[in-house]
Structure 1
Amino acid sequence: MPGTHTQKRRKLSHGSSQPDESSESRTLSPPPPAPSAQASESVAQEPENEPQVTFADLGLAEPLLESTAALGYKYPTPIQAKSIPEALKGRDIIGLAETGSGKTAAFALPIIQALLEKPSGLFAVVLAPTRELAGQIAQNMEALGSICALRCATIVGGLDMVPQAIALSKKPHVIVATPGRLLDHLEKTRGFNLRSLKYLVMDEADRLLDLDFGPSIDRILKFVPRERNTYLFSATMSSKVESLQRASLKDPVRISVNTSASKHQVVASLIQNYLFIPHSYKDVYTIHLINEHAGQTIIVFTRTVNECQRLGILLRTLGFSAIPLHGQLSQSARMGALNKFKAGSREILVATDVAARGLDIPNVDVVLNYDLPQDSKTYIHRVGRTARAGKSGLALSLVTQYDLEIWLRIEAALGKKLKEYPTEKDQVMVFQPRIEEAQRHARIEMKNIHESRDKRGAAARGKGARPPKRRRDNMDAEEG
């Protein structure tokens, strides 16, 4: 697989009680190298006898051409090439494109160009479903807008509202926010409003319009001027997106760069396999797969916060470089985990679906679905964390006797049957005694974590504090 690190992660040996540092990691044979993201996606769309479209051909101003060149953007991706000209004409946009296709620049560049032509105060609001994605969008917009000193404020939950209120008082050009926290400021921060707003963007729009965020979005829309441009971008189309299209968009153009008839898309360079295993052996097969791909960067997705934490402890106990990421961590801990994984100091990220959408993490070699997601859209977003920017990647899913219905729905949405990943049961089960010992350690540590959390909650209530909101172990919706 591409993107493997020269520093190999320690592999478990079959017999010893300590990880074997001398053994070489086994990796899948890499496919032929792919061209870069910007070039490869554009080449796939352009006939051989026609010149390739450039950013200048899209009608962007000279400062933005300098900005894209400085960031290494050689050619626009298909979603950029199709949506930017329409946005520059003042059209509302519904953009559908697979993950890793450059959607952020597709809406950021027209907004920044409009701001260059008519500078003003608060100009655009970009809504994102997770704090991590909001931070990533803000970084990208600041980089693209550095040529014109773009001021961008990131407004997300989990952080103190006072510094955010101060940032809002400084009249940023763009606000990137999660819906709950933006609504908090609209209702509570004196002097803050959206009356001058010219652009409203919803990234991962299908997720924003589901049951977790729908009520907040409905209330935010009451604060937004009717005369505005609206951009909806997503990898998948839902009935909620279509409903908002009819209710809130003016003469929108729908742009889709999906390459097949199915509405659920993955890139062609992604290899997808499954393993049909007994539920009781999930940990054993997970360790076998991670050990088999030692030296590669791996994201392991779980369905619940509790399982994410437990699996992270299990992997660390066995000597793997793993770190958990879920919605019940503090914001600083979440960003710390993500940054360590991006920097390569941790090679395994164990995450809930808080990491499934939109995050651009370079060089993820393998996505492992320890738990299957509840719907096929989430599956598409999870596996989209690998095989980005024209590179190849591997997605593996553990399917137990309890997951057959879900897996059949995922295959139906993909429009094809996936192949089973080859394993030898004897080779897998050789690790079982060591894993059972690590499982006992993980159970003890998880018990201590829950007891400590309960004691802190009881102490807070004894001091007259309000009871904490009931946290849901199986969800990662942003609270504020």
Structure 2
Amino acid sequence: MVNKLWEKVKPALSEPVLRCLQKQSFKTMTPIQAAVIPLILTCKDVVAEAVTGSGKTLAFVVPMLEMLLKKQKDDPLKKDFVYSVVITPTRELATQIYKVIQLFLEEPELCHITISLLVGGRPVETDMESLKKGSHITVCTPGRFMDLLAERKQLNLAGRLKELEILVLDEADRLLDLGFSATLTTILQYLPRQRRTGLFSATQTKELQDLIRAGLRNPVVVSVKEKSTISTPILLENFYVIVEPQDKFLFLLNFIRNRRMMKGLFFLPTCACVDYWADILPVFLPDQKVFAIHGKMKQKRSKILEKFREAENTILLCTDLMARGMDIPSVEWVLQWEPPLSPAALVHRVGRAGRAGAAGHSLLPLLSTEDAYVPFIKANQLVDLQDWTQSKDQIKVTQKLRDKVLSMMHEEQKKDRSVFDKGQRAFVSHMRAYSKHECNLLLQFKELPLGHIATSYGLLKLPLMPEIKQVHKEQFVGPKEEIDFNSITYRDKQREVSRLKKLEEYRRTGVWPSKKKKKMAQTQPWEKAKMDKEERKQRKKKRKELKQQNPEGKKGKKRRAVTQAELDELAADVALIKRLKRRKITQDQFDEAFDVDK
């Protein structure tokens, strides 16, 4: 079937493009490529939906290059014009697409086509210089592209887009999830209407449908799925396992040790969690390379990702930054600490494995209170999670292992106060993220055994949180011996000197110098804060409804209507005053008529 698809599309492609595909050992064509490439080449707007790893990048790169080659024959490409724009949600995905296109531009017939990468994390001036040198194809993130559009004096990017042939929005639903809706609407206003537009995503959302109506003209919708019953690649096996909350890390640690995986992704809830486990996990995996990446790493991200691609016997700790569009060869396993905040994100997470027809696996540990998530995700996202306990491989967690691992985690925090601080921040940020789950009816924060979870983090003490009750303190298993937390020092000497000065001032004044005193009323549980916010929202809604019922803005009780008799009496009084002014009656007669006492 795939060979037939290739033979069907092959005649429409030029020699340079075919030659480059052959160099990359491209011998088969995926259904999404076979469906989309002819449509774009015949100047159709396309909305493409396909599972992750199905080859969506080549589905728009190949026709984009073919369109530029055709335009070159009719009218040579001009240096100062941008003919193709690809917008992606993250700089990592933009860099990946940029490198794919660069492979094609190495062909002699295509080397005259110029390309630029416009992403954040570097000076805007660098990107401006890149555009001035010539950029027939621009791969960018929406924020940076919007910044350059706003720069009129030195660049005038809007003027360079007058000859735009094709616009591609890759991972379009993710662009909207990240809050780029207003930015995209503004960008579309700068672009010529006579263009081709392609929207590519793995899932369809209501916001995406709104964008389709705003930016495309009579688009052709292409939806390609492996099976009607699943939304992930057919060779990807997805597992779940019910674990005790205090044993989650121990289970995952043993799982990684037993696999000896060449490449694995480990998704964690927050950036702070990535930072903490990046310090702890290497202690237990001395033979594996452990990398860490999250959205708050600005300059380091590209270097870390490149090292991970090149390494073997490695695992990457990450947030959902890595969940979309990233094509990393040979990822065997996708591990997750817990379900993502959005159900749709699970499809993208697990889709980092099992790409382009390769086999892959994913594992999601769940607490006993979260077991309803399995049928929910099957119905909501068509992801079939199999029970790991039914497999032959069994992971056992013994009391001896618990004691040993906990002791080692405690020692790591005692050696360096920065690890202790990271552990506290990681736990608090994790709990805060859990309270914001979209599936909060299934994943309820109030049901979490916070003490057991803090134990799984290997914390030396429970953080000061309003949500932590006495029952949680009883669940928590900390160090066996008493610890003077002020005696834990920073490995960094400068930080330690600064801490000691603050500690001395605290002992003298009773106030920690770097922290402002907060009112007690400001400290409240997140659930209470959420309820207060909802109450304010309801009050505001009620005021709005009352205002609509009384558009003139009249306040207080409704005034009594004036009777006709009162109007007649008023008219008679006015007539009497006029007669007095005209001297038709005397003052005495006027006073008598008004019954004025003398």
State the TM-score bracket (shorter-chain normalisation): 0.7 to 0.9
Q: In 2, distance between residues paired with 1:337 and 1:409?
A: 35
Q: In 2, distance between residues paired with 1:327 and 1:226?
A: 34
1:303 aligned to which of 245, 264, 269:
269
Residue of structure 1 equivalent to 2:101: 141
- Using CA pairs under 8 Å that are at least 6 residues apart, name the structure with larger relative contact order, 1 or 2: 1
Equivalent residues of 1:267, 1:387 under 8 A apart = yes
Residue of structure 1 equivalent to 2:283: 317
Residue of structure 2 equivalent to 1:400: 367
* Structure 1 segment 277-356 matched on structure 2, within 5 A: 277-318=243-284, 319=286, 320-331=288-299, 333-345=300-312, 347-356=314-323
Equivalent residues of 1:340, 1:346 under 8 A apart = no
Q: In 2, distance between residues paired with 1:58 and 1:103?
A: 20
SS at match of 2:92: helix
Equivalent residues of 2:88, 2:141 under 8 A apart = yes
Q: CA RMSD in A?
A: 2.5
Residue of structure 2 equivalent to 1:106: 59
Counterpart code for 1:326: H
Equivalent residues of 1:56, 1:65 under 8 A apart = no
Residue of structure 1 equivalent to 2:187: 220
* Structure 1 segment 427-446 matched on structure 2, within 5 A: 427=397, 430-440=400-410, 441=412, 444-446=417-419
1:78 aligned to which of 31, 36, 42:
31
Counterpart code for 1:109: V
Residue of structure 2 equivalent to 1:179: 142
SS at match of 1:53: helix
1:188 aligned to which of 151, 162, 165:
151
Residue of structure 1 equivalent to 2:454: none
Cα deviation 1:231-258 (Å, max 9, x = unaligned): 0011111112212222221121111111
Q: CA deviation at 1:272?
A: 1.0
Using a 3 Å threshold, how does the CA distance of structure 1 residues 136 and 417 change in structure 2: closer, same or farther? closer
Equivalent residues of 2:251, 2:396 under 8 A apart = no
1:127 aligned to which of 68, 87, 98:
87
Tell me the TM-score normalised to structure 1 length.
0.79
Equivalent residues of 1:93, 1:252 under 8 A apart = yes
Counterpart code for 1:82: A
Counterpart code for 1:433: D
Cα deviation 1:344-383 (Å, max 9, x = unaligned): 1560100101111111100011100112112222111111
Using a 3 Å threshold, how does the CA distance of structure 1 residues 309 and 67 change in structure 2: closer, same or farther? same
SS at match of 1:201: strand
Q: CA deviation at 1:146?
A: 2.8
Q: In 2, distance between residues paired with 1:428 and 1:78?
A: 48
Cα deviation 1:418-462 (Å, max 9, x = unaligned): 32212656446543223213433258433566899999xxxxxx9
2:342 aligned to which of 341, 360, 375:
375
Is 1:241 matched with 2:208? yes
Q: CA deviation at 1:100?
A: 1.1
Equivalent residues of 1:376, 1:409 under 8 A apart = no
2:168 aligned to which of 182, 198, 201:
201
Equivalent residues of 1:96, 1:236 under 8 A apart = yes
Equivalent residues of 1:58, 1:84 under 8 A apart = no
1:59 aligned to which of 2, 12, 25:
12
Counterpart code for 2:352: R
Using a 3 Å threshold, how does the CA distance of structure 1 residues 212 and 446 change in structure 2: closer, same or farther? farther
Q: CA deviation at 1:58?
A: 5.2
Q: In 2, distance between residues paired with 1:289 and 1:93?
A: 43
Using a 3 Å threshold, how does the CA distance of structure 1 residues 296 and 59 change in structure 2: closer, same or farther? same
Q: In 1, distance between residues paired with 2:386 and 2:216?
A: 42
Q: In 1, distance between residues paired with 2:243 and 2:19?
A: 53
Counterpart code for 2:325: G
Q: CA deviation at 1:330?
A: 2.4
Counterpart code for 1:446: V
Equivalent residues of 2:95, 2:117 under 8 A apart = yes
Equivalent residues of 2:40, 2:63 under 8 A apart = yes
1:118 aligned to which of 71, 76, 80:
71
Counterpart code for 1:130: T
Residue of structure 2 equivalent to 1:257: 224
Equivalent residues of 2:261, 2:313 under 8 A apart = no
Using a 3 Å threshold, how does the CA distance of structure 1 residues 447 and 179 change in structure 2: closer, same or farther? farther
Equivalent residues of 2:115, 2:138 under 8 A apart = yes
Using a 3 Å threshold, how does the CA distance of structure 1 residues 94 and 438 change in structure 2: closer, same or farther? farther
SS at match of 2:177: coil
Q: CA deviation at 1:223?
A: 1.5
Q: In 1, distance between residues paired with 2:309 and 2:173?
A: 26
Structure number with bigger Rg: 2
Using a 3 Å threshold, how does the CA distance of structure 1 residues 395 and 123 change in structure 2: closer, same or farther? same
Q: In 2, distance between residues paired with 1:428 and 1:266?
A: 35
Q: CA deviation at 1:266?
A: 0.7
Q: CA deviation at 1:278?
A: 2.4
Equivalent residues of 2:5, 2:34 under 8 A apart = no
Q: In 1, distance between residues paired with 2:70 and 2:395?
A: 64
Q: CA deviation at 1:404?
A: 4.1
SS at match of 2:95: helix
Equivalent residues of 1:302, 1:372 under 8 A apart = no
Q: In 2, distance between residues paired with 1:54 and 1:403?
A: 48
SS at match of 1:271: strand
Counterpart code for 2:278: G
Could you tell which deviates more after superposition, 55-64 or 98-107? 55-64
Q: In 1, distance between residues paired with 2:191 and 2:320?
A: 29
* Structure 1 segment 409-448 matched on structure 2, within 5 A: 409-415=376-382, 418-422=385-389, 424=394, 426-427=396-397, 430-440=400-410, 441=412, 444-447=417-420
Q: In 1, distance between residues paired with 2:313 and 2:260?
A: 12
Q: CA deviation at 1:279?
A: 2.3
Cα deviation 1:241-296 (Å, max 9, x = unaligned): 2122222211211111113335x611111111101112222211111111111243
Equivalent residues of 1:274, 1:420 under 8 A apart = yes
Alignment length, in residue pairs? 407
Residue of structure 2 equivalent to 1:169: 132
Q: In 2, distance between residues paired with 1:429 and 1:298?
A: 28
Q: Identity, % of aligned pairs?
A: 31
